[in-house]
């Protein structure tokens, strides 16, 4: 049995707390909101985020960050990506050398273009940082529906330890040394999911969505490999797997926000209606900047940015994508010589 703290009491943090409790670990969930701590402790249910899912009495809740970190074998960071750095900075005085931290959020910092694990390592240099990603909506994990994810870590020893910590009969875990690739796949797919949602909101069909998913993973892979990620990662759970579910699922906040924009709402109106952090909005600018920095063409991501931040009509954005000059799908494939 391990002592585990989950930092962040949203839907994903709560779902992982339930999973870890089921696996026999001692679990504490931290929230910065005293009222949320009281409500979860008393009702034993996250009424707004995971309605109908009961929280066992063994799971503790606290607003004391020091108590949530000290003496824990593993700390799971489940706060929204925009709060990862500030939360890691708050945690740092209480973290010990080689304490294991698992980031389960997805995003890229717009100003620095750093991934979340890089931010955590900068703020908590004594930590042993890993990441978890894959097709895993909290609404389904919280109900115990089967899924498969990938954990990335610096060493195989840490990866194997965390694999055993999380894995059970409904939550299968693979391991990988490609932390960068896993994080890029998880971050950039949210931007593509906004595009998929916009297409749905405009009434386009399954063909359109399949095209966006396929060309979206091509963009993500081009950039990810140029930055040092492994091509295999983008063809796996943290790449195409996570992209498919985020573009297609009714649980996807990114798809939902895009859908609302496709129906004519502004970005802010869509985010207000979703009532949760729409990670793709925060990653979109960073993704476009990374494309410029590494000289990689990202046409879908660029058009999403124009819709989000330049008030471009979504229909015009689709036309731009469709009317681009003709290209080969895979430039590395050879042609037969005459």
DSSP state of 238: I
- Helix, strand, coil percentages (3-state) for the chain, rounded to 5, are 55, 15, 35
Tokens 């779902």 map to which residue?
Answer: 15
Residue 170: both structure tokens together: 């409904």
pLDDT the model gives residue 94: 98
180-322 folds as 1.10.1040
**Could you tell me which of 281, 132, 115 has the C-alpha nearest to residue 197?**
281
Start-end of H helices in 127-266 = 138-141, 156-166, 179-201, 206-227, 231-234, 242-248, 253-262
Decide: 57 and 16 in contact? Cβ < 8 Å: no
Helix axes 179-201, 314-322, angle to 10 degrees: 110
DSSP 263-296: TT--HHHHHHHH-S--HHHHHHHHHHHHHHHHT-
- The CA distances from residue 302 to 55, 156, 187, 257, 290, in Å, are 42, 37, 15, 17, 11
Instruction: Output the pLDDT for position 266.
Output: 87
Catalytic residues: 189
Q: Cα 93 to the chain's mean position, in Å?
A: 26
pLDDT at 268: 87
Q: Where are the chain's structural domains?
A: 3-177, 180-322
CB contact at 8 A, 147 and 134: yes
Rounded Cα–Cα distance for residues 46 and 43 (Å): 8
What's the rounded Cα separation, in Å, for the pair 62 and 2? 18
Domain 3-177 falls in which CATH fold?
A: Rossmann fold (3.40.50)
Paired with 76 in beta bridges are: 6, 102
How high is the mean pLDDT in each 10-residue block of the chain (338 residues)? 97 97 98 95 93 96 98 97 96 97 96 97 98 96 97 98 98 98 96 94 94 96 98 97 94 92 89 83 93 97 94 90 88 88
Q: What is the pLDDT of residue 89?
A: 98
């Amino acid at each position: 049995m391990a002592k585990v703290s989950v930092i962040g009491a949203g839907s994903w943090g709560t779902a992982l707390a339930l999973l870890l409790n089921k696996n026999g670990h001692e679990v504490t969930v931290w929230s910065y909101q005293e009222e949320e701590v009281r409500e979860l402790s008393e009702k034993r249910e996250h009424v707004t985020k995971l309605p109908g899912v009961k929280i066992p009495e063994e799971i503790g809740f606290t607003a004391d960050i020091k108590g949530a970190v000290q003496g824990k074998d593993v700390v799971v960071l489940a706060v929204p990506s925009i709060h990862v750095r500030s939360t890691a900075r708050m945690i740092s005085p209480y973290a010990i050398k080689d304490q294991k931290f698992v980031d389960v959020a997805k995003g890229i910092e717009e100003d620095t273009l750093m991934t979340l694990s890089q931010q955590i390592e900068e703020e908590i240099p004594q930590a042993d940082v890993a990441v978890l990603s894959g097709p895993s909506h909290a609404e389904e994990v919280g109900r115990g529906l089967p899924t498969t994810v990938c954990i990335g870590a610096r060493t195989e020893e840490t990866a194997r330890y965390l694999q055993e910590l999380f894995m059970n009969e409904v939550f299968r875990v693979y391991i990988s040394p490609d932390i960068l690739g896993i994080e890029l796949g998880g971050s950039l797919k949210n931007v593509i999911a906004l595009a998929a949602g916009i297409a749905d909101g405009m009434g386009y069909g399954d063909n359109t969505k399949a095209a966006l998913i396929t060309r979206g993973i091509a963009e993500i892979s081009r950039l990810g490999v140029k930055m040092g990620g492994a091509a295999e990662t983008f063809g796996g759970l943290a790449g195409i797997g996570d992209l498919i579910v985020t573009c297609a699922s009714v649980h996807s906040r990114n798809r939902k926000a895009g859908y609302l924009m496709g129906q004519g709402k502004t970005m802010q109106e869509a985010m207000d209606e979703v009532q949760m952090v729409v990670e793709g909005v925060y990653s979109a600018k960073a993704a476009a900047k990374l494309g410029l920095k590494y000289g990689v063409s990202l046409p879908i991501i660029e058009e999403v940015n124009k819709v989000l931040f330049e008030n471009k009509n979504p229909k015009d954005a689709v036309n731009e994508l469709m009317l681009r000059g003709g290209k080969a799908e895979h430039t590395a494939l050879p042609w037969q010589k005459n």
